Structure 1
Amino acid sequence: MSGRDAGGARREGPRCIAIVGPFASGKTSLFEEILFRTGAIPKVGAVASGNTVGDASPEAREHAMSVEVNTATTTFMDETYCFIDCPGSVEFAYESDPVLACVDAAIVVAEPDDKKIPALQVVMKHLEERNVPRLLFFNKIDRASGGVRDALELLQPVSSVPLVLRQLPIWKDGIAVGFVDLALDRAFLYREHAPSEVIDMAEMERMESEEARFSMLESLADHDDALMEQLLEDIQPPRDEVFADLVKEMRASEIVPVFLGSAANGNGIMRLLKALRHEAPDVTDTRARLDLEDATGPLVQVMKTIHTSHGGKLSLSRVLAGSVEDAAELDNAAGPAGKVSGIYDLLGQKTTKRGTAKAGDTVALGKLDGAVTGDTLSAKGAAIPTIAVPTPPQPVLHKVVRPSERKDDVKLSAALAKLVDEDPSLVVEHRQETGETVVSGQGEMHLRVALERLASKNGLSIETAVATVPYRETIKGSVTQRGRHKKQSGGHGQFGDIVIDIKPLPRGSGFVFNETISGGVVPRQYFSAVEAGAREALESGPLGGFPVVDVSVTLTDGSYHSVDSSEQAFKMAALLAMREGLPQCQPVILEPVLKVEITVPSDATPKVNAIVSGRRGQLLGFDGKPDWDGWDVISALIPEAEIADLIIELRSATQGVGTFTSNFDHLAEVHGRLSDDILKAASKEAA
């Protein structure tokens, strides 16, 4: 449905609004209150009671937190909106990325808590990087103890553009009982879970609101020369011009309007909804922001993949242009995505079948088996534009998973594939060296929820373990070793006889095989068999059975039998020589060391430096994170064995926002007691 915005321009289609913000800031409560006030639900649920439309999954209710995006379509003043409630924890942050790629605007939910400023900065940066128009809902105003303008000044560093106060609270006995709308220049009294009541402004409130309104106009005038002249000449600008500036500058991401309220009490909701109705962009603006003005459609962006128990696969999608009919065939960049089998509106986990989806609609499309989260879809055979969706961040925590019963191996593989389809920030890897299936994710809670979902949705009993560290062995000494394989059992026997030099190589050299045979004492046709035997011996070292690296083997002498010699015999001779020679070469254990870059708020840097040192890490230095005021990037070298639970300690030290990336750097020798402990563990595992 179309209408007109505050500037008089015609709007196209339903709008899609993301609700984002730090963990526990009240996003789901706001989501619930919006649905109640727009008539989508008959009564308001509560997160604590486990009866909200959002956070309806068993995992979300078990942990009392959002663990995935929740979507609801509703209407307000005869216009259609889709609100998408996004998780606040950094561990589930990637859920928001495909959503933010194609929403019209975002409501950022914040609260008067300086401890959550780093988390709020992360949210705001994500929006700024995608140039998503946004407004800020200053929640829990009923709990605010200081002045709102002081709180806003504290929050300003989280945003690269001005936070512009649109409302001023009215206080009574230290409690916010209402607000002054600075654009309308009217006062309102809060009513619990009901529209606010217009009241007369007291003299003191009038004086404070005039000052706050002038400050708002000054911010707008930074992008409007005519308004600046009016302010300099002490001329009150017309109200419609003020609203036009608010619309233009919010849509251009030049300001972030700030609204006040309490989601838990239902305060400030109607003014927020009216601001969205008049000021939020529509799908036409979003196409322009994405450089898709010429798109005719159908053009669809997949925001989330959902595997339901009975309805199969659903692709939560935004129609950006054109329309999508049931049974339409759609393609993605890789080829056919499938034929649409059902189009649905969502209200949390409830689906309602509907007809054609048009530009602006946010719907679930059924049975698009070839579509994945982040895909852009278009008509079969049509050109498909690229809509940028960030790749998932590198995993920071790893767990080995296996079914309690071996018969469930195949079932587990299929369940893991669906899990990753729903959540691309999970990575599943089968490690050939150890035979382990490793699930990797963004933190302790992320993996816990993923494994709970894996078990509950598929009826699987899952066991977990810490992933095996890929230790290596090498040698520090040299030896010349004979290997002789002779066997006679009737008929042709087996005979292979070699002499090899085993020597260490510089770290990172791998394996080198040479031969200096003269006189044909070992025929050339057997050289490759000797090399194969040496390589096989290096697969399991003499200390803990770990692969041996950085070794040179040179075939120098030997003998053969014209009848009994064979490639297999010379391979066995090489195996014997290596197994007898390696223990004499001063073997040692090597551990992988990773280059780690840790990103944290600057005030946590000293704590994190201590954490690194406590994990046998070598600090390389730190620097400010580019374009992130108040954040540092710490570089260090840390043994992989010390990385396993690093993210848990790091998050604890940084209000839940610290993270890191890691890459293999080198192998380092392990000394003393640590080496003994590794060998004891390897011996126990082998037994």
Structure 2
Amino acid sequence: MAEKATGGAAGAAGRAPAADRPDMVRNVVLVGHSGAGKTTLVEALLAATRTVQRPGRVEDGTTVSDFDEVEVRQQRSVNLTVAPMVHNDIKINLLDTPGYADFVGDLRAGLRAADAALFVVSASEGVDGLTRMLWEECATVGMPRAVVITKIDHQRADFEEALTACQDLFGEGVAPLYLPVVTNGRMNGLIGLLTQKFYNYATGTRTENAPGPSYEDQIEQYRGALIEGIIQESEDESLMDRYLSGEEIDTKVLIDDLEKAVARGGFYPVLATGTGVGATEVLELITQGFPSPLEHPMPEITEIGGAPVAGITCDPDGPLVAEVVKTTSDPYVGRISLVRVFSGTLRPDMTVHVSGHGMADRGHEDHDVDERIGALSSPLGKLQRTTGKCVAGDIVAVAKLSRAETGDTLSDKDRPLLMTSWTMPDPLLPVAIQARSKADDDKLGQALQRLVAEDPTLRLENNAETRQLVLWCMGEAHADVLLDRLSKRHGVEVEKIELRVPLRETFGGRCQALGRNVKQTGGHGQFAICHLEVEPLPSGEGFEFVDKIVGGVVPRQFIPSVEKGVRTQMQRGVVAGYPMVDVRVTLYDGKAHSVDSSDMAFQIAGALALKEAAAKVPTLLLEPVDEVAVLVSDDHVGAVMSDLSSRRGRVLGTEQVGIGRTLVRAEVPELEITRYAIDLRSMSHGTGTFQRTFLRYEPLPAHLVDKVAG
């Protein structure tokens, strides 16, 4: 921090920054909503470390187009990207995460790979509900955090208002380290609250001065709150008494305690940045205040069979344990895996074991194979700068891992290990697609498998009932990005089609029916007659077949044939083509022929009897009903409950979850929530989440039958 060191960039121009020890690495994830200024902050830090020169040029003259082109900026806004740099001989890996709720999967990947989080808040826009939700994501995993308030020199900027919003939404422990100095609408410096120095950037180079007397009251107000917050987190219990008695606590003691409090996740310093100001202070906080990988708890590690493995630490000489946190594929470059090494050292051309990852329900295969990795590189934009190794705690891009997917574990081939995967949110927006042409259809399968390998939040479903290909996505923006990638990256054109929800049929009453299959063709004929009684069962009871044949009128060997024929016809449906459920079928009479009766003849007779029953009594269409649990802020509970009721839902109740959050439980027909992921996000300003679980089938209202089944 500026209070402790004056900095000095040590960027390795044009070369991949390398680390030899875990304590020389800082992995930091940038978190914040879209438009908060994360990418601009990354650019400023790259320039401050002389990793790139504005506008986006490495010192050896190589252009880094990722920091100029609009199209690439848009890609960065929906992808997890990494920007490595060096400051004071510390390698910093900045993980820039998307600022949209649809891409929370990339955020969680960033949290897995990082050791601390830097929240970016715009001084002109304040803190939105999504940022608070992201803060809670970090709090759940105990991530050390700090806040950077950006755009201080924007015409609508209000630092104090943004700071107050952060303190209100993020809770205790949020306090500024610096106060921005703005003159004539331009930020030209920072006042360090601990050192009480003015870091002046007016000339383009930072100089240290004493702050003017006009800032004394403001410094005293914020400095007192900062010192009290630091002392509360101190392990020295005497500090508070000494401070309250009027003793001036040594600045070095305060800074040491501040760094410990930040690393433990109990204190959250706030910094400020503007055009050309604040990057050095952010770098100093990262290198001196954030923890190294040595202080990061190791994820649970097991053998392939599930037996826990203890004793593995962040040691470059230890057994190899690494994880693929992001996968990208390109038809020309191939697959690139972004890997965080937790233990051991990764080197080019090593043979590693790939294992993972328990998401077969989303279309991801479980892996247990050996692969030889290709070159290692340190990615910066489109550049892949070659590096000779990656030690424990560092992050690297790996080429030619053809089988590994996001979430997989890399380990020594002679000692295969598996890391417990991080929790991924369930995709809840179904999007049905179809290829536009036969040529597109031929390429679609392979292209989708590549998308699935890259994105663990995507679930691919080939619905056998509706005969539709369905992409389960996180939201509309997620779906649009996936379809855009199919088109631009893989050359496959698809179009969205109306999603069909699988319905069911059942009988609306009880009746008796005859199944007669008697045919004489001149040779061996068919003869089977069966009398059935059908009746509906309560919802969820399924199918029941009852044999009441007496006297052998239907030979014993043909009774299973009747049941098989009934079951086959039930699967096909009897009216609208949907499977039939919740039916009891009783075989109570029939006839057979000693020569012409057969297994197939009685199967056909059973099916015919079921069809005749459908002509005698009404049949009902049943729709699936889900139990839905919606978690929203208290401000939106009324709107959510009203909306659920408008969807033919039955609200079951509410319960308080934490401070300011309510869980609403309801039963809602699936037909009414196919787009609920989009609607809830709009209703709750991006902060609401929900889960759905199939509950049962219920009769479809009469006024919807023609609309749905027609």
Do they superpose with TM above 0.5?
yes
> Equivalent residue for 1:676?
706
Letter in structure 2 aligned against 1:106: A
> Equivalent residue for 1:234?
246
Preserved contact between residue 477 and residue 586 of structure 1 (Cα < 8 Å): yes
Preserved contact between residue 337 and residue 368 of structure 1 (Cα < 8 Å): no
> Equivalent residue for 2:166?
155
CA deviations on 1:445-475 (whole Å, 9 max, x unpaired) are 0011011101211111112213211111111
Shift of 1:329: 1.8
> Equivalent residue for 1:200?
210
Preserved contact between residue 330 and residue 489 of structure 2 (Cα < 8 Å): no
* Cα separation, 2, equivalents of 1:601 and 1:497: 63
Greater mean deviation of Cα atoms: 536-545 or 80-89 = 536-545
> Equivalent residue for 2:359?
none
> Equivalent residue for 1:125?
136
Q: Between the two proteins, what is the percent identity of the paired residues? A: 30
Shift of 1:388: 4.9
Preserved contact between residue 503 and residue 553 of structure 1 (Cα < 8 Å): yes
Identify the match of residue 341 of structure 1 among 366, 371, 374: 374
- Residue 30 in structure 1 maps to residue 63 in structure 2: no
Shift of 1:308: 2.6
> Equivalent residue for 2:387?
354
Preserved contact between residue 141 and residue 260 of structure 1 (Cα < 8 Å): yes
CA deviations on 1:521-561 (whole Å, 9 max, x unpaired) are 11011111111111122123343222111111111111111
> Equivalent residue for 1:217?
227
Preserved contact between residue 473 and residue 589 of structure 1 (Cα < 8 Å): yes
Shift of 1:294: 6.8
How do residues 253-272 of structure 1 correspond to structure 2 at under 5 angstroms?
A: 253-262=265-274, 265-272=275-282
Identify the match of residue 332 of structure 2 among 310, 315, 321: 310
- Residue 661 in structure 1 maps to residue 691 in structure 2: yes
Shift of 1:508: 0.8
> Equivalent residue for 1:503?
535
Preserved contact between residue 117 and residue 155 of structure 1 (Cα < 8 Å): no
Preserved contact between residue 654 and residue 662 of structure 2 (Cα < 8 Å): yes
* Cα separation, 1, equivalents of 2:573 and 2:407: 45
SS of alignment partner, residue 666 of structure 2: strand
How do residues 417-456 of structure 1 correspond to structure 2 at under 5 angstroms?
A: 417-456=449-488
CA deviations on 1:353-408 (whole Å, 9 max, x unpaired) are 22122233311112223322223322222263635511x21112111122112344
Quickly say closer, same or farther: Cα 1:144–1:220, change in 2 above 3 A. farther
Letter in structure 2 aligned against 1:354: T
- Residue 325 in structure 1 maps to residue 347 in structure 2: yes
Letter in structure 2 aligned against 1:232: L
* Cα separation, 2, equivalents of 1:351 and 1:172: 41
Letter in structure 1 aligned against 2:563: E
* Cα separation, 2, equivalents of 1:349 and 1:631: 42
Preserved contact between residue 515 and residue 529 of structure 2 (Cα < 8 Å): yes
Shift of 1:11: 7.1
Letter in structure 2 aligned against 1:201: P
Greater mean deviation of Cα atoms: 486-495 or 378-387 = 378-387
* Cα separation, 1, equivalents of 2:697 and 2:205: 65
SS of alignment partner, residue 297 of structure 1: coil
Shift of 1:576: 1.3
How do residues 56-135 of structure 1 correspond to structure 2 at under 5 angstroms?
A: 58=71, 61=74, 66-112=77-123, 116-135=127-146
* Cα separation, 2, equivalents of 1:539 and 1:352: 58
If the length of structure 1 is used for normalisation, what is the TM-score?
A: 0.91
* Cα separation, 2, equivalents of 1:605 and 1:147: 30
CA deviations on 1:181-228 (whole Å, 9 max, x unpaired) are 112321123459x54443331112123212311211100111222321
Shift of 1:52: 6.3
Quickly say closer, same or farther: Cα 1:308–1:678, change in 2 above 3 A. closer
> Equivalent residue for 2:664?
634
- Residue 276 in structure 1 maps to residue 276 in structure 2: no
Identify the match of residue 549 of structure 2 among 512, 517, 537: 517
* Cα separation, 2, equivalents of 1:72 and 1:311: 20
> Equivalent residue for 1:250?
262
Preserved contact between residue 104 and residue 286 of structure 1 (Cα < 8 Å): yes
> Equivalent residue for 1:614?
646
SS of alignment partner, residue 317 of structure 1: strand
Shift of 1:149: 4.5
Letter in structure 2 aligned against 1:315: S
SS of alignment partner, residue 667 of structure 2: strand
SS of alignment partner, residue 541 of structure 2: coil
* Cα separation, 1, equivalents of 2:456 and 2:504: 32
Quickly say closer, same or farther: Cα 1:429–1:373, change in 2 above 3 A. same
- Residue 381 in structure 1 maps to residue 407 in structure 2: no
Greater mean deviation of Cα atoms: 520-529 or 615-624 = 615-624
SS of alignment partner, residue 497 of structure 1: strand
SS of alignment partner, residue 480 of structure 2: helix
If the length of structure 2 is used for normalisation, what is the TM-score?
A: 0.88
* Cα separation, 1, equivalents of 2:180 and 2:186: 9
How do residues 454-473 of structure 1 correspond to structure 2 at under 5 angstroms?
A: 454-473=486-505
Shift of 1:58: 4.7
* Cα separation, 2, equivalents of 1:289 and 1:227: 35
Quickly say closer, same or farther: Cα 1:5–1:419, change in 2 above 3 A. farther
* Cα separation, 1, equivalents of 2:56 and 2:81: 15
Preserved contact between residue 619 and residue 637 of structure 1 (Cα < 8 Å): yes
Greater mean deviation of Cα atoms: 490-499 or 297-306 = 297-306
- Residue 605 in structure 1 maps to residue 637 in structure 2: yes
Shift of 1:146: 7.9
Alignment gaps of 5+ in structure 2: 7-20, 58-63, 301-310, 357-367
SS of alignment partner, residue 257 of structure 1: strand
* Cα separation, 2, equivalents of 1:174 and 1:60: 27
> Equivalent residue for 1:365?
398
Shift of 1:483: 1.3
Quickly say closer, same or farther: Cα 1:59–1:344, change in 2 above 3 A. closer
SS of alignment partner, residue 303 of structure 1: strand
Preserved contact between residue 337 and residue 369 of structure 1 (Cα < 8 Å): no
Quickly say closer, same or farther: Cα 1:60–1:411, change in 2 above 3 A. farther
SS of alignment partner, residue 53 of structure 1: helix
* Cα separation, 2, equivalents of 1:387 and 1:493: 63
* Cα separation, 2, equivalents of 1:216 and 1:343: 43
CA deviations on 1:662-683 (whole Å, 9 max, x unpaired) are 1111211122321222232xxx
Shift of 1:115: 6.8
* Cα separation, 1, equivalents of 2:541 and 2:176: 62
How do residues 567-578 of structure 1 correspond to structure 2 at under 5 angstroms?
A: 567-578=599-610
Greater mean deviation of Cα atoms: 37-46 or 342-351 = 37-46
* Cα separation, 2, equivalents of 1:288 and 1:183: 34
* Cα separation, 2, equivalents of 1:275 and 1:361: 19
Identify the match of residue 66 of structure 2 among 45, 49, 53: 53
Letter in structure 1 aligned against 2:408: D
> Equivalent residue for 1:684?
none
Shift of 1:175: 5.8
SS of alignment partner, residue 527 of structure 1: helix
Letter in structure 2 aligned against 1:653: M
Identify the match of residue 313 of structure 2 among 293, 298, 312: 293
> Equivalent residue for 2:179?
168
Quickly say closer, same or farther: Cα 1:508–1:172, change in 2 above 3 A. same
